[in-house]
Amino acid sequence: MITRDSDGWNESKPEGESRSMSDEHQPGNKAFCSGVYKVIHAQQHAESHYVIVLVGEIFPACVECSHQVRFELAISAVHVDRHPHFVRT
């Protein structure tokens, strides 16, 4: 279910579905899917926020908390150019 709160848009997992370690990504990892990712900074020097990351991109380090920043997939998405309903000829 996708909801909106003070942090912005959020997708919650269905009841009973647990999170796995693959839900959390760190700098240097390659994104396995495109989507909106929640960014969680170490030492809470910045509030959590959301960024768009495309499949194959490398998650970056934070200029403040370096490699301690974490990324959680909030909403997966397919780029419009790759969606079968919008293929350009």
CA 40 to chain centre: 10
**Secondary structure letter of residue 34 according to DSSP:** -
CB 86 within 8 A of CB 58: no
Q: Give 23-80 pLDDT, tens digit per residue.
A: 899 999 999 999 999 999 998 899 999 999 999 999 999 999 999 999 999 999 988 8
Q: Give 74-83 pLDDT, tens digit per residue.
A: 999 988 888 8
- Is the pLDDT confidence value at 7 over 80? no
Q: Which residues contact 15 (CB under 8 A, 6 or more apart)?
A: none
